[in-house]
Homo-oligomer: A and B are copies of this chain.
Amino acid sequence: METVKVIKIGGNIIDNEEALTAFIKDFSTITGPKVLVHGGGKLATKLAAKMNIPVNMNEGRRITDADTLDIITMVYAGKINKNIVAQLQANNCNAVGFSGADGNTIVSEKRPVNSIDYGFVGDVKNVNTNVLEILLNNEITPVFCAITHNKNGQLLNTNADTIASELAIGLSSIFNTELYYCFEKNGVLEDVEDDDSVIENINTESYKTLKDNHIIFEGMLPKLDNCFHAINKNVQKVCIGKSDMLFKTNNKHTTITQ
Question: Is A163 at the interface (CB under 8 A from chain B)?
Answer: no
Q: Is the CB of B94 within 8 A of A97?
A: no
Question: Is A190 at the interface (CB under 8 A from chain B)?
Answer: no
> A50-B51, A97-B99 known; A140 and B131 CB under 8 Å?
yes
Q: Is the CB of A96 within 8 A of B89?
A: no
Contact among B89, B96, B134, B147 for A82, CB-based, below 8 A: B147
Contact among B78, B94, B140, B153 for A73, CB-based, below 8 A: B78
B residues less than 8 Å from A174 (CB atoms):
none
Tell me which residues from 78 to 93 in chain A have a Cβ below 8 Å from any Cβ of chain B. 78-79, 81-83, 85-87, 89-90
Question: Is A164 at the interface (CB under 8 A from chain B)?
Answer: no
Q: Of the 9-residue stretches A29-37, A101-109, A248-256, which lies at the interface with chain B?
A: A101-109
B residues less than 8 Å from A83 (CB atoms):
73, 153, 155
Question: Is A115 at the interface (CB under 8 A from chain B)?
Answer: no
Q: Is the CB of B74 within 8 A of A75?
A: yes
Digitize A188-202: 1 where CB-to-B-CB distance is under 8 Å, 0 elsewhere. 000000000000000
> A98-B96, A134-B134 known; A81 and B89 CB under 8 Å?
no
> A77-B78, A79-B78 known; A86 and B103 CB under 8 Å?
no
Contact among B90, B98, B103, B147 for A140, CB-based, below 8 A: B103
A-B contact pairs, 5 of them (CB 8 A): A51-B51, A74-B75, A77-B77, A77-B81, A78-B81
Given contacts A82-B101, A94-B131, A95-B103, 11 further A-B contacts (CB under 8 A): A73-B79, A74-B74, A74-B78, A83-B153, A89-B101, A89-B149, A89-B151, A89-B153, A90-B153, A96-B98, A131-B135
